[in-house]
Amino acid sequence: MGNLTVHLQDRFIDCCPPGWVAHREVRLLPPEFEQWVGYQARADILLEQPEQRRRLWIEFEVSRADPVANHAKFATTHLFFPQRMGDVFVSMVSAHVVLGRVNLAANTIVLMRQVGMSAFQTTLLPTYSGEAIKKLNHLDLAQLKSNSDYLNFPGCLYLNTSVCSGFLKHCAVPPPGQVVFCFVLP
């Protein structure tokens, strides 16, 4: 995992909207089951609204050689431990991931829905090119945190309307077809 994912996890935790709690690297499977299947399924960020029993399982696909691996782990987990009502899988894929793999990940979202999951995919840091994301991912955490020349996040992250609808009430005027997941990543 590059430093950009760690930085994004930190920002989600630091800037969590009111009524929500964020956790990093959250395990989906009991340890005994992980040992039995031979893999770990963990979310980069779990955004949880405990009072409403709502959870967003967020995966950052910054530059993975195989971004579909996480989708497959979540889908397979669902077969043994079904996604509970109020849970949503959100894959955020950057422009650094090659087009064919972005498309495969998007089609896997459709597959996840076919097995009964609530799953969505959106663009991670949509204003950054693949080359810019690659450079950001190789910076150390101090550079990512302290130098706005290296990382000037837009005011909000964009998620598909259907993810936000009914989940988050902190939404601003969106770009066409999108809702702004409104907490600032300074």
**CA–CA separation, 154 vs 137, rounded Å?**
17
pLDDT for position 3: 87
Q: What is the CATH number of the domain that holds 25?
A: 3.40.1340
For the segment 49-62, the average pLDDT, to the nearest whole number, is: 88
**CB burial readout 96-117, b (16+ within 10 A) else e:** bbeeebbeebbebbeebeeeeb
**CA–CA separation, 186 vs 153, rounded Å?**
7
**CA–CA separation, 57 vs 181, rounded Å?**
14
How distant is the alpha carbon of residue 184 from its chain centre?
Answer: 15
The SS3 of residue 146 is: helix
pTM of the full structure: 0.79
pLDDT for position 186: 32
Tell me, yes or no, whether 78 lies in a domain: yes
Q: How many distinct structural domains can be found in the chain? A: 1
Tell me, yes or no, whether 32 lies in a domain: yes
pLDDT for position 156: 41
Q: Which domain holds residue 41?
A: 3-152
